[in-house]
Amino acid sequence: MELKFIDQAPEAIGPYAHAVRTGHLVICSGQTPLDPDTSELVGSNIQEQTERVLRNLAIVLEGVGLTLNDVVKTNVYLKSMDDFDGMNETYAEMFGLHRPARTTIAVKQNPLDALVEIECIAEIREG
């Protein structure tokens, strides 16, 4: 097991690594819509926050030599299921034709009261 801390990603707001590599998998910690430069929450709506979250995940993945196209599973945590359609719209734009497996649930509250948090598992492909 190898812990990954990515300098370009928003600083972790707790005692955890941005990602863990184990075998051919990279498990990324949940990302919230934090600006990597200021560590402040950005976006006033679900679309803006979802875009920032996925950009943050892309930064973490890039730090281990992967992209969103290597993601095999995501877990999405919404503050409100009323934001499901808006999140889906931005999520689809960011992933393009790639469609990893996904679970989406509503939670009472995300860190820093974010509208969305997303975590993922990606695969390192041989060759």
Q: 2-123 adopts what CATH topology?
A: 60s Ribosomal Protein L30; Chain: A; (3.30.1330)
Determine whether 83 is exposed, middle or buried from the number of CB atoms within 10 Å of its CB (0-12, 13-18, 19+).
buried
| Average pLDDT of the residues of the chain | 97
Q: Stretch 109-119: mean pLDDT, rounded?
A: 96
For the chain, give every domain's residue range: 2-123
pTM of the prediction? 0.96
| Full DSSP string of 23-63 | TTEEEEEEE-SB-TTT--B--SSHHHHHHHHHHHHHHHHHH
Asked if residue 4 lies in contact with residue 57, where contact means CB atoms within 8 angstroms, the answer is no
First to last CA, the chain: 21
Residue 29 confidence (pLDDT): 98
Number of Cβ within 10 Å of residue 109's Cβ equals: 9
The more confidently predicted of residues 13 and 77 is: 77
C-alpha separations of 55 from 1, 17, 89 in Å: 25, 17, 15
Which tens digit of pLDDT belongs to each residue from 95-112?
A: 999 999 999 999 999 999
Which tens digit of pLDDT belongs to each residue from 49-61?
A: 999 999 999 999 9
**Separation between Cα atoms, residue 43 and residue 110, nearest integer Å:** 15
